[in-house]
Structure 1
Amino acid sequence: MSEEKLNPLVELVLARLREFYREPAIVFWVFGFPLLMALGLGAAFRSKPPELPRIGVVMVEESAESLELLEKLKAHPAAITEVYDRESADRALSRAKVDVLVLFDAQGYETVIDATQEKGARAQLEARDILQTAAGRKDPLRERHSRVTKPGSRYVDFLIPGILGMNIMGSSLWGVGYNLVVARKRKLLRRYGVTPMRRPHFLLSYFISRSLFLVLELGVLVAFGKLFFGMTVQGGLLSLVVISILGAAAFAGISLVIGARISNTETANGWTNLVQMPMWLLSGVFFTYERFPEFLHTPIRMLPLTALVDGLRGVYNDGLTLAGLLPEVLVLAVWGTVGFLIALRTFRWQ
């Protein structure tokens, strides 16, 4: 009776899967930790009504007119008004307890804002509008106001795709390259090297097993967002899966380069943190990278985490297809392909 011929790639993928589910700690960091982070940040930055501008009033010189305006200002529902003496008012403004100061004197009033506080300009306009209207101003045009809520406009809609992208990056870097280093340190790679398999089979097994778990991660986070925050994927689920797999491939390629030769876990730890920590800051996981100077936007868009997060948000919030995400797809494909080819040439068993 002839022995059954085993496929090296299939057997290696199965081995990677067994390594995963036999370690409960890994299961927590892949599935549990992202959910806890999403729940905590989603609760902290949950949707709530806009904050009313806080107006501090100082009566430099009192008059019947200024007292009347003060009462109308305090009664207006669109602002929160408190009266201070001058010293307390300056201190409240410097500590951001008020957004704008209104100083009443014999000539009328003066508004003062702190130029470093982003709420100051809006509060100044609001205070001016309330006071001028109270003094009898008539607007020449008739106004109508509406309130709408667009899909994807909440912070949690911005956050969940960012956390998903960050989790794909972290689990790919630590689950692929770092595991290679650990196996090399334990002399396991040398044993693999004498088995009847090719080097591409061995490296591809890490990526394929990572992609299989990625589908589960994606499903868990999408269901979590729907259940707890009422989020809906505006685009196609297939596009979401494809862009996620491309992201995993990009980071797997980078991770394979890190793990191709390093045999010291401390060195691997340093390189892995060096790769991921700048992208945590630059790539728009928790806040948009457009806050950085404009000349940095193009280099930041070339980072794999930026391309991944932009792609996920494009599908999740804007309903884009892969055709509409071609720049992001190309960036991720280049990172993954180049990383795998470099790792294939530089990899050593011991």
Structure 2
Amino acid sequence: MGSLGQLMLMRLRVLWRQPEVLFWTFVFPVATTLVLGLAFRNSALEPVRVAVADGPEAPALLARLQGVPELEARALELTEARRQLARGRVSLVLLPGSPSPEALVDPSQPEGRTARLLVSQALAATPDAPRLEAVKATPVSEPGNRYIDFLIPGLLGMSLMSSSLWALALPLVAMRGGKLLKRLAGTPMSRAHFFLAFLLARTVFAALEVAFFCAFARWLFDVPMFGNYLALLGVGLLGAMCFASLALLVSIRARSEESVGGLVNLVSMPMMFLSGVFFASENFPGWMQPFIRVLPLTALNDSLRSIMLEGTSVLTLGAPLAVLAVWTILPMVATLRWFRWV
């Protein structure tokens, strides 16, 4: 074998001995295909969801609609029904009235027309029902129901995760590789103060990050804010602290700057697919939902969307905030326990 063959064989052996190369070449494409295949799997068509606004005639209308297998009808208070129509959770809101009911549909929802036809056919099935053309359809457009409105909170959560992981893990590993941590070990500085400085600096940058996202989303895409900006900022800072804590834990496991990238991606990439950044996490099967619910990015994205698009108070977000708190505390405790200066 000539010199060219020997050099090529040497490079192949180097690549084979790097686990991160094998992971991104062979494991990651298969894992990504399986995850997205579960999210967008072919399944039977679900019933079209319809809401009937409360009123004296609502029980009779609801009884007629519940006999149609293609419809899933339920009675809701009018304000809640319009809110669910805006969020895409129902395709039509039926308002009882005389001589004929009124149907509220969102023109941006493709299932709105199907829901109106099914509702009209169901009501026309009884002798005393209004004619098919007598059901008045009123187009309504509520702020917060566009895809960009769904996407912006998810992108904010993903940005907080990525910037926290990369901005902390990589410098710490570089400091260890450059023997700077070994020099700091000889100073009277405490380990807790060392890591706390990283976390506090990260929160300052995260505040700017949240403000930037809110500003450009509002100015460029007119994304609404139904909640409180301070509540959104507080949740964003907690999310940044959570992922900063995970970054510190990653940094103590990485032995070189080459390996830290693989570990950061191993932590972040699954959550980018599973935690509802680009599409709803409800697309995944039910048996995966308990695992998805306890992921920190899922808790962060759900909290950001609840505040921005539904005006939810922080006091009602106990479960996702508890998930973020646990993911903040446990990695920090593990880091303080196992961190070594050299």
1:238 corresponds to 2:230: yes
1:156 alignment partner in structure 2: 148
Q: Is the partner of 1:153 in helix, strand or coil?
A: coil
Distance 1:298 1:318 in 2: 23
Out of 189, 214, 220, the residue aligned to residue 228 of structure 1 is 220
1:142 alignment partner in structure 2: 134
Letter in 1 for 2:157: G
Out of 280, 293, 296, the residue aligned to residue 288 of structure 2 is 296
Distance 2:116 2:231 in 1: 44
- Cα deviations by residue, 1:276-300 (Å, 9 ceiling, x for unpaired): 0000110000000101101211210
Distance 1:124 1:224 in 2: 35
Aligned Cα root-mean-square deviation (Å): 2.6
Letter in 2 for 1:249: M
Distance 2:291 2:283 in 1: 14
Distance 2:316 2:276 in 1: 19
1:316 alignment partner in structure 2: 308
Distance 1:326 1:235 in 2: 16
The change in CA–CA distance for 1:140 and 1:234 in structure 2 (over 3 A counts) is closer
1:305 alignment partner in structure 2: 297
1:212 alignment partner in structure 2: 204
Identity of aligned residues (%): 41
Letter in 2 for 1:220: F
1:182 corresponds to 2:174: yes
Distance 1:243 1:124 in 2: 37
Distance 2:115 2:175 in 1: 62
Distance 1:214 1:282 in 2: 23
Out of 327, 330, 337, the residue aligned to residue 338 of structure 1 is 330
Q: 159-168 vs 192-201, which deviates more?
A: 192-201
* TM-superposed deviation, 1:253: 1.3
1:100 alignment partner in structure 2: none
Letter in 2 for 1:271: L
Note if contact 1:235-1:318 (Cα within 8 Å) is conserved in structure 2: yes
Q: 138-147 vs 275-284, which deviates more?
A: 138-147
2:265 alignment partner in structure 1: 273
Q: TM-score under structure 2 normalisation?
A: 0.62
1:50 alignment partner in structure 2: none
Distance 2:194 2:178 in 1: 17
* TM-superposed deviation, 1:268: 1.2
1:262 alignment partner in structure 2: 254
Q: Is the partner of 1:197 in helix, strand or coil?
A: coil
Note if contact 1:261-1:346 (Cα within 8 Å) is conserved in structure 2: no
Q: TM-score under structure 1 normalisation?
A: 0.60
* TM-superposed deviation, 1:141: 7.4
- Cα deviations by residue, 1:72-131 (Å, 9 ceiling, x for unpaired): xxxxxxxxxxxxxxxxxxxxxxxxxxxxxxxxxxxxxxxxxxxxxxx89x78997xx9xx
Letter in 1 for 2:245: G
Distance 2:219 2:257 in 1: 39
- Cα deviations by residue, 1:29-48 (Å, 9 ceiling, x for unpaired): xxxxxxxxxxxxxxxxxxxx
- Cα deviations by residue, 1:139-182 (Å, 9 ceiling, x for unpaired): 36721111112221111110010000000000010011221111
Distance 1:291 1:123 in 2: 21
Distance 2:275 2:141 in 1: 26
Letter in 1 for 2:137: H
Letter in 2 for 1:327: A
Structure with larger RCO (C-alpha < 8 A, sep 6+): 1
Q: Is the partner of 1:146 in helix, strand or coil?
A: strand
* TM-superposed deviation, 1:256: 0.8
Q: Is the partner of 2:189 in helix, strand or coil?
A: coil
* TM-superposed deviation, 1:187: 1.0
The change in CA–CA distance for 1:339 and 1:153 in structure 2 (over 3 A counts) is same
Larger CA Rg, structure 1 vs 2? 1
The change in CA–CA distance for 1:315 and 1:194 in structure 2 (over 3 A counts) is same
The change in CA–CA distance for 1:319 and 1:348 in structure 2 (over 3 A counts) is same
2:71 alignment partner in structure 1: none
Unpaired runs of at least 5, structure 1: 1-118, 130-137
1:166 corresponds to 2:158: yes
Note if contact 1:182-1:263 (Cα within 8 Å) is conserved in structure 2: no
Note if contact 1:183-1:189 (Cα within 8 Å) is conserved in structure 2: yes
The change in CA–CA distance for 1:315 and 1:125 in structure 2 (over 3 A counts) is closer
1:325 alignment partner in structure 2: 317
* TM-superposed deviation, 1:320: 0.8
Unpaired runs of at least 5, structure 2: 1-109, 121-129
Distance 1:246 1:168 in 2: 10
Q: Is the partner of 2:195 in helix, strand or coil?
A: helix
Note if contact 2:199-2:241 (Cα within 8 Å) is conserved in structure 1: yes
